[in-house]
Amino acid sequence: MRKIFIAIVRAYQIATSHTAPRCKYYPSCSNYTATAVGRYGLKGFAMAVWRIVRCNPWSQGGVDYVDEHLDCADVKNLLIDNEKEVVGAN
């Protein structure tokens, strides 16, 4: 079920990728939805709906991850750096 839903979201992304980028947030609403549903299922879907409602003309957007401590660029870079260190040690 989750996989089907994520596939639909991805199809939407491909179908709309020809237009100019639209979303006020990073990651975009659709990416957020795919991550949230993949991780939390129905609760993730509710999170996604709330995110889309927040993505309205009166919001200012910004950086908004499903899980800040898992997805943010700094954390990812840190992980990559750590891996390099491990490789270096060997």
Partner 1 sequence: MSFILNPLYDIVSGVIVAIHKALAPIFGANSGVTWSLSIMGLVVLIRIILIPLFVKQIKSQRALTALQPHMKEIQKKYKDDRQKQSEEMMKLYKEHKTNPLASCFPVLAQAPIFFSLFTVLNGIAKNKPHGFLKGDYLVSAAQAKFFGAPISQSFLGSSQTTVKIVTVLLIAFMSGTTFTTQRQLMVKGMPKMDSSNNMMLQQQKIMLYLFPIIFAISGVNFPVGVLIYWSTTNLWTWGQQFYVIKRNPTPGSPAYEELQRKRAHKAKLAGKTEEGIDQSEASEPEVLGQRQQPKKKKKKK
- CB-CB contact of 56 with 48 (8 Å): no
Residue 45 to residue 34: CA distance in whole angstroms: 9
| Least distance to partner 1, CB of residue 11, Å | 11
Pick between residue 19 and residue 90 the one whose CB is nearest to partner 1.
Answer: 19
- N-to-C CA span, the chain: 42
Minimum gap (Å) between residue 13 Cβ and partner 1? 11
- Shortest Å distance, C-beta 31 to partner 1: 11
Of 20 and 89, nearer to partner 1 (C-beta) is 20
**Chain residues in the site for partner 1 (CB under 8 A):** 14-15, 17-26, 28-30, 52-53, 55-57, 59-63, 72-74, 76-77
**Angle between the N-to-C axes of helices 29-40 and 42-54, in degrees from 0 to 180, rounded to the nearest 10:** 160
